[in-house]
Structure 1
Amino acid sequence: MPLSLIRIRDDLNVVPGRLFIDGNWLDGHYDRFEQIHPATNEVMTTFVEAGARGVDQAVVAARRAFDEGPWPRMRAQDRKRMLQPIVEKIYAAEREIAQLQTLDNGIPFTFSRNSRVSPKSAADIFDHFLGWIDKINGETYPQFSSASDMQYMTFREPVGVVAAILPYNGPVMTFAMKIAPALVCGCTVVVKPSEYTNLVVLKLAEIVAESDLPPGVFNVVTGGAETGAALSAHPHVDKVTFTGSPIAGEKITIAGASTMKRLSLELGGKSAALVFPDAESVAGAATTLMGLCSTFLSGQVCTTPSRAVVHRSIMDEFLHHAAEQVKTVRFGDPFDPATTSAPIISKRQKDKILAYIDSGRREGAELMFGGGTPGGELANGNWIDPALFAKVSNNMTIAREEIFGPVLSVIPFDTEEEAIRIANDSDYGLAGCVYTSNVKRAFRVARAMRSGSIGVNGYASVPNAPMGGIRRSGVGREGGWSTIEAFTELKTINFNLGS
């Protein structure tokens, strides 16, 4: 009998989605689109396609709230008191939020509730940025010369109207990482969730809407590519913060060029994990790297190390333990505690991944296992068996392009210099890992790798440390003070104190 999530959908009282604009929930006379669950391809509900008209309505409200409203000029303490309840409300609703995230993108409920993409993580992100709200300060500067009696000082002011465009893979966490600092800095916001993950973002919007923010400070529009394009190109948007594909990032950059929009873009990755013979545990490295591609979101994470660059002397050991890890993978009902892995977000993405697997075979890589699609009760969903390729060269398509799925490519190396060269020979530069027990090597290699973040013997992101990429992996950083800088403009004021 095919897997079905209709009962769970009905138990959660899912209803058609609305827009939130200028302090009001709206249906309006808009077209609607269906949201499909990737595990079963069943319709969960429908949402408003805001399009250019809905986007304009939301941006006009945000513009007015920024230019004329109290929010950007509000005292830090008052703004903090208004935002503080969001943290506890997220904690109070964390189970429902996690359920809705699973009903959106199919991430196993155990991960949705207990991982870096969980509601608890989102609450921690809000809490972290609320701590900055009364510490957003400028500087004073000593007089440069005796030629004039000028005193210089700087102030940080909110950047303005922010368009926050979210990805499907971690909507709860990225909602918090973009919305919390924007509101803390005094910006007004228009949020657009991925067309695949609207349920959980609208739940979070309900929580924010209960916080008595002035009308227009926080707005939500739903829709697909048309809505996203209208939002990122709108002339009254001052900044776009986006997490998604490099192709979409390029379009946003072009669209914003005429109005010189400020941009924060976290885009794709083709991260390399370098595994040296002196790694503390080759088995641990293999299990971790294969696990990141086969469990959790099934490789649908931009920071996933999808290139394992492994020393030739430990290749057989690495491949053995990677194969053992995949034996623990369990597909099925994402609300079942035994399920370890998410489905692929759409049929289109599933077909794209399968085409990459075919290209790996054609170009001469050795498919050790996986790459098929399960049948039976899972036949209607977007499932792909985790795939491991050996004997991969770095010029193959599967080593060059972001697959965004459960595929790990293993590339051999002989020397440290060769490993670094392979790691850096990429159009991307988001994250990376080094597995070694040699501290000097770890430091040397981490510094030599061209990437926004490097993990030594493991990798994780936290709210108070910067995260972001170089090259096609994006522009700017998210996390800690770097995020405050991204949502503020620096103004210099000089006083002539001379006679």
Structure 2
Amino acid sequence: MSFSLLPELAALNPRPGRLYIDGRWIDWDGERFEQLSPATNEVMGSFPVAGQRGVDMAVAAARRAFDEGPWPRMRAQDRKRVMQRVIDGIYAAEEEMHRLQCLDNGMPYHMSRGTRVGAKAAADIFDHYAGWIDKINGETYPVFSAASNMQYMTFREPVGVVGAILPYNGPLFTFGTKVGAALSCGCTVVVKPSEYTNLCAQRMAEIFAEADLPPGVFNMVTGAGETGGPLSAHPGIDKVSITGSSDVGERVYAAGASTMKRLSLELGGKSAGIVFPDTRNVATTAATLMGLCSTFLSGQVCSTPSRAIVHRSILDEFVEHASAQVKAVRFGNPFDPATNAAPMISRRQVDKVLGLIAKGVGEGATLRFGGDQPGGDLASGNWINPALFTDVRNDMTIARQEFFGPVLSVIPFETEEEAIAIANDSDYGLAGAIYTTDISRAFRVARAVRSGSIGINNYASVPNAPMGGIKRSGIGREGGWPTIEAFTELKTININLDA
């Protein structure tokens, strides 16, 4: 191993892993687990396995805080002031949390610091939702008929106790998206970070502990499925918001059925990047699509267009430039400014991606490059060399299953109708992108592709615009007013004006 992350860990000196329940830290007396750095597989810390017992404690505290405490009934101005303390705390700890996120998931430091998944982005998301607090309102309706003199009006009330289950790829970003929205709406929260990314989540919990929220409003439990399962199924939870795989989403959906839980499920994707021959620049487009799979989080982003649907007339040129892009990929210490790609989060994820690559070769696709592991100084980490497949049919496993890794599959097309059909022939529908200089075609295809979000000549998400999927990519939207709707219930009150 040519580098160690232990000196960085020692410099940050994070506190030992604990649970945060009912306004206090709990030194867990039960089972614990070790979190490993994906870049080196060195131990980054030990954290409690909350399990059913810890979840019961946290949900009871959140339930009590919602049913009896001041938070759901607090005046808008007062709740905004509390949220501002959280926002200020995140800004103050920004540099520390960027570094903790690198230790958590191996994200290159300069990308943790400078992209929409960093601490500043999380603070901005909290700020966005805090801004809604005094604007969450209902409506009044005109008297419908002469049959009765009734006045109808609606109010938005917090949905209740929220179980927020976070992914490993954007632990700070999704912390803001779920917890910031829930608290701003007056809900109480039990948050469970991914078992792979506890360091920055615990630092966020410390900020909440210092912000003087009423006890039980914010709670955090840790662990893997033995914690997430009881949380998503708990009868004391009114709503579950999860970002994760479609398989996990299925289990959460089933677990919540018996209690009719409200659900926000932001799940997997097999997004299509459709490249027309009139794209502004084939080289730039190819480098963009390949780069989304090969750099940053190395394809471990649910909205990544992992299917490049490319017009046959520019296919060879596209592949040539995609191949050139990979030459710029640099693995290594995530704190090295030259590093621009992340490892897979775990050995298990490495095995999954390598297995799918082997499946692609076995089914007749052509592996143009990559798909193996670097040895030498990187052998101790979870690294996979970026891969490109050509001669891919849309019925192949690699075109249908989510890799969540550094692999791009190129599928040729001849006509616009064929491109749309290929894009829509998927169990997923989270995101996608269209590359063309014909604005009429761009809108036409964007409307025809069945997906929650579509980018034209670029793709990005922001806190004030909705993001989410259809089909196996999930239920509901996160971002802007639709998130406020997701964390509130609509109550209708009618008044007899003749009484």
Q: Give TM class, smaller chain.
A: over 0.9
Distance 1:395 1:360 in 2: 11
Report the more deviating stretch, 28-37 or 477-486.
28-37
1:219 partner letter = N
Matched, 1:55 2:75: no
Cα deviation for residue 381 of structure 1 reads 0.6
Does 1:364 find its partner at 2:364? yes
- Deviation of 1:3 after TM superposition, in Å, equals 2.9
Structure 2 gap segments, 5+ residues each: none
Give the structure 2 partner of residue 479 of structure 1: 479
Shift of 1:15: 3.6
Output the TM-score relative to the length of structure 2: 0.99
1:130 and 2:130 matched: yes
- CA distance in structure 2 between the aligned counterparts of 1:182 and 1:206, rounded to whole angstroms: 18
Which 4+ runs in 1 deviate beyond 6 A? none
The percentage of aligned residue pairs carrying the same residue is: 71
Using the TM superposition, give the Cα deviation of residue 28 of structure 1 relative to its aligned residue in structure 2, in angstroms.
3.0
Alpha-carbon distance in 2 for matches of 1:15, 1:182: 27
Q: Provide the C-alpha distance between the structure 2 equivalents of 1:58 and 1:167, rounded to a whole number of angstroms.
A: 20
Alignment of 1:452-471 (within 5 A): 452-471=452-471
Question: How far does residue 4 in structure 1 lie from its aligned partner after superposition?
Answer: 1.7
Aligned-CA RMSD value: 0.7
Amino acid at match of 2:392: V
Query: Letter of the aligned partner of 1:221 in structure 2?
Result: V
Counterpart Cα distance in 2 of 1:387 and 1:335: 24
Give SS of 2:383's match.
Answer: coil
Q: Can you list the C-alpha shifts for 1:114-172, whole angstroms capped at 9, x where unaligned?
A: 10101111111011111100000000001111111111000000000000000000000
**TM score, norm. by length of structure 1:** 0.99
Amino acid aligned to 2:193: P
How is 1:147-166 mapped onto 2 (pairs within 5 angstroms)? Answer: 147-166=147-166
Query: What amino acid sits opposite 1:140 in the alignment?
Result: T
Preserved contact between residue 39 and residue 381 of structure 1 (Cα < 8 Å): yes
Query: Structure 1, residues 165-221: CA drift from partner, whole Å, max 9, x if none?
Result: 000000000000001110000000000000000000010111112111000000000
Give the aligned residue type for 2:95: R
Partner-residue secondary structure (3-state), 2:428: coil
Aligned counterparts, 1:154-193, within 5 A: 154-193=154-193
Q: Which residue of the partner structure matches residue 194 of structure 2?
A: 194
| Number of aligned residue pairs | 499
Q: Distance in 1 between matches of 2:321 and 2:453?
A: 26
Whole-angstrom CA distance in 2 between matches of 1:51 and 1:88: 32
AA of the residue aligned to 1:309:
I
- Compute the displacement of 1:282 (Å): 1.0
Could you tell me which amino acid in structure 2 is paired with residue 45 of structure 1? Answer: G
SS at match of 2:494: strand
Map 1:312-351 to 2 at 5 A.
312-351=312-351
Within 5 Å, give how 1:81-96 maps onto structure 2: 81-96=81-96
Q: Distance in 2 between matches of 1:13 and 1:210?
A: 18
Q: Which residue of 1 aligns with 2:386?
A: 386
Name the residue aligned to 1:437: 437
Structure 1 spans left out of the alignment, 5+ residues: none
Aligned to 2:43: 43
Partner of 1:118: 118
Q: Displacement, 1:12?
A: 1.2
Q: 2:260 matched to which residue of 1?
A: 260
Give the Cα–Cα distance (whole angstroms) in 2 for the partners of residues 3 and 471 of structure 1.
Answer: 43
Deviations 1:81-104 (A, max 9, x none): 111122222112111000000000
Code of the aligned partner of 1:331: F
Match of 2:429, SS state, is coil
Counterpart Cα distance in 2 of 1:356 and 1:82: 47
Distance 1:89 1:286 in 2: 40
Residue 73 (structure 1) aligned with residue 73 (structure 2) = yes
